[in-house]
Amino acid sequence: MHHIIVNPTAGKRKSKKSLEAVKRVFDEGGASYLIHETTRAGEAKEIAARLTAPALPLETAGEVALIDVGRVEEPVKLIIVGGDGTLHEVLNGISELSRCTLGLIPAGTGNDFAAAAGIPENAEKAARIILKNEAKPIDCLEVGGLRSMNVAGLGIDVDVLVRCSKGKLKGKIKYLISLIQSLFTFKGYEITVESGEKKETFNGLIAAACNGKKFGGGIKICPVAEIDDGLMDVIMVDCLGGVFSIIKAFTWLMRGKILEYPLARHFRCEQVSVRTKNPCAAQLDGEVYENLTFDAKICKGLTMYR
């Protein structure tokens, strides 16, 4: 049984058309499925938690029976129709990573992790991958007790996201205005990054732990990252201060060349701790979190159709 979790508002309602394509492919292939449509933020996480929960004992008339709170087979096949945000919710609802296999139908605005996993944005092609391909191991991150599938970090990218969450404007114009404001006002954070014997304090424009290659709707933060190598890629970019130096660094980032930027450093590890002198927000898969303890580690045991 395939449990299809769909966010009907993802990608400006692109997910509804994608769901119809998935249903056609599954029906043609004789695959069984149930559709779980979300109606509010956080519901995808709740659905994933219910579907992957272990059977629980229930006392009935003095006897102990086993009830299944959603899991009818193991691993549970969770198929996400949505973007990085829906994928992030589902990932954080899974009780144990080994209890499920993920399928992804990219239907969001950015679909950054789908690109890293080599999953096509065409819904029919993505659905056929689920039916025809074997699930393969993938990594994810755990940061401060939360899971992140793609990229976790802090810096100017989070500053833009925080600005985007305010005001009445929507869409690309809102992001563009927020970006311009951040470029002219961001001063950098005092950041300390520690991993094993490595420890460095710097004034940071960006500090990120990457499982995937892109964030922010296609920006190449770490083109060399691999989602199944058992390591995260840590990116640190210095902020010298001043509008022109920040714009210069951001230009390298937008060109996908940030690893070649003279003030950027990159290393791979299984665990990293990122601390800031003053409290600041962090982002996991594009979702903003306040007061998050940024202790990140790589997690294994998850599989995905790709």
Is 60 domain-assigned?
yes
30 and 122 co-located in one domain: yes
pLDDT of residue 105: 98
C-alpha angle 49-284-176 in degrees, rounded to nearest 5: 130
- Rounded CA gap, 153 and 236, in Å? 10
pLDDT of residue 208: 98
Find all residues with CB under 8 Å of 230, minimum gap 6, and list them.
139, 270, 298, 300
Single pTM value for the model: 0.90
pLDDT average, residue stretch 247-274? 95
115 and 248 co-located in one domain: no
Parallel, antiparallel, or unpaired for β 271-276 and 264-269? unpaired
Is 141 domain-assigned?
no
27 and 160 co-located in one domain: no
68 and 196 co-located in one domain: no
Residue labelled with tokens 């144990």: 96
pLDDT of residue 65: 40
Query: What is the residue type of 185?
Result: T
**Distance, C-alpha 194 to centroid of its chain:** 23
158 and 261 co-located in one domain: yes
93 and 27 co-located in one domain: yes
C-alpha angle 81-164-174 in degrees, rounded to nearest 5: 90
pLDDT of residue 200: 96
CATH classification at residue 113: 3.40.50.10330
What single-letter DSSP state applies at residue 13? Answer: H
Residue labelled with tokens 């950098």: 188
pLDDT of residue 169: 67
Is 243 domain-assigned?
yes
**For the chain, what is the domain count?**
2
Is 145 domain-assigned?
no
128 and 183 co-located in one domain: no
Is 230 domain-assigned?
yes
For the chain, counts of helices (H) and of strands (E): 8, 19
98 and 180 co-located in one domain: no
113 and 212 co-located in one domain: no
Domain boundary, last residue among 106, 133, 160: 133
pLDDT average, residue stretch 71-77? 72
Whether residue 115 has pLDDT greater than 90: yes
- From residue 136, alpha-carbon distances to 37, 48, 100, 300, 303 in Å are 26, 20, 12, 12, 5
- Rounded CA gap, 112 and 153, in Å? 15
- Residue 188 token pair: 């950098």
Is 139 domain-assigned?
no
C-alpha angle 141-294-229 in degrees, rounded to nearest 5: 25
Q: How far apart are the first and last CA of the chain?
A: 18
pLDDT in tens, 172-186: 687 788 888 998 999
pLDDT over 70 for what percent of the chain? 92
- Rounded CA gap, 282 and 162, in Å? 10
Domain boundary, last residue among 71, 98, 133: 133
Contact 158, 288 (CB under 8 A): yes
- Residue 205 token pair: 């424009």
123 and 158 co-located in one domain: no
Higher pLDDT, 242 or 297: 297
Is 138 domain-assigned?
no
280 and 185 co-located in one domain: yes
pLDDT of residue 57: 52
Question: What domain range includes position 172?
Answer: 151-300
DSSP-assigned beta bridge partners for residue 151: 210
CATH classification at residue 247: 2.60.200.40
What single-letter DSSP state applies at residue 136? Answer: E
- Rounded CA gap, 115 and 135, in Å? 17
Whether residue 61 has pLDDT greater than 50: no
Domain boundary, last residue among 133, 167, 184: 133
**Which is it for the CA torsion 157, 162, 166, 171, positive or negative?**
positive
Query: What integer best gives the mean pLDDT of the chain?
Result: 91
34 and 127 co-located in one domain: yes
pLDDT of residue 174: 79
pLDDT average, residue stretch 4-16? 87
Is 76 domain-assigned?
yes
Reduce the DSSP state of residue 304 to 3 states and report it: strand
